[in-house]
Amino acid sequence: MNAAKRLEIFRRLHEDNPEPKTELAYSTPFELLIAVTLSAQATDVSVNKATAKLFPVANTPQAIYDLGVAGLSEYIKTIGLYNSKAKNVIETCRLLLERHNGEVPETREELEALPGVGRKTANVVLNTAFRQLAMAVDTHIFRVSNRTGIAPGKNVLEVEHKLMKFVPKEFLLDSHHWLILHGRYVCQARKPRCGSCRIEDLCEYKHKTSDD
């Protein structure tokens, strides 16, 4: 895919949604960190239901740490893998209090040193909470990048690096959200909604009978 196509793709996505946002509910960097940690292999909807009960009760590292694993588990037990996630979140809160004065760090290295926080989670926090140029490649972004030809790659890290290189600079900060939303609602996994896609004429997806 050439640069002109990519520019037009992101121009249209921007035109349709000038200020894209994550669908996870949060009001502070810490709340976002917890929500993203909980969202691994879970839907944003299920996470939002849980945090809607949790955050009014505990939304700081100290408050959640004070709940303990058992107490936190009660709030998040509707989310998949809640036992291991509760342990990670409690340990994350302890480390934030010990190492970072209760604040969420603003570097990938420090974020990835927290339990349950991988590169994708760190990139979400850096981009969404701190507005840094970072690209969190989830299953939606990986699929859209490969299927459209925007940034094809064999693994998430390759796609991440290509997106950081190929997405036009003026659209890079928000491109993470546009690509996720496009993958979630239009360029879906089993049956992409090509007929209602704003970028269909620019997409390099080769229509296959199995996807129609």
For the segment 41-55, what is each residue's pLDDT rounded down to a tens digit? 899 999 999 999 999
CA distance 54 to 30: 13
Q: Which of 16, 49, 77, 138 is catalytic?
A: 138
Q: What pLDDT, on a 0 to 100 scale, did the predictor assign at position 40?
A: 87
Q: What is the pLDDT of residues 117-153, one digit of tens each?
A: 999 999 999 999 999 999 999 999 999 999 999 999 9
Q: What pLDDT, on a 0 to 100 scale, did the predictor assign at position 207?
A: 52
Q: What pLDDT, on a 0 to 100 scale, did the predictor assign at position 80?
A: 86
Could you tell me if 45 and 206 are in contact, meaning their C-beta atoms sit under 8 angstroms apart?
no
Nearest CA-CA partner of 135 in 173, 183, 189: 173
CA distance 72 to 52: 13
Q: What is the pLDDT of residues 34-88, one digit of tens each?
A: 999 999 889 999 999 999 999 999 999 999 999 999 999 999 999 988 999 999 9
Q: Which of 21, 120, 162, 208 is catalytic?
A: 120
Nearest CA-CA partner of 181 in 31, 35, 17: 17
211 given a catalytic annotation: no
pTM of the model: 0.88
DSSP code, position 133: S
120 given a catalytic annotation: yes
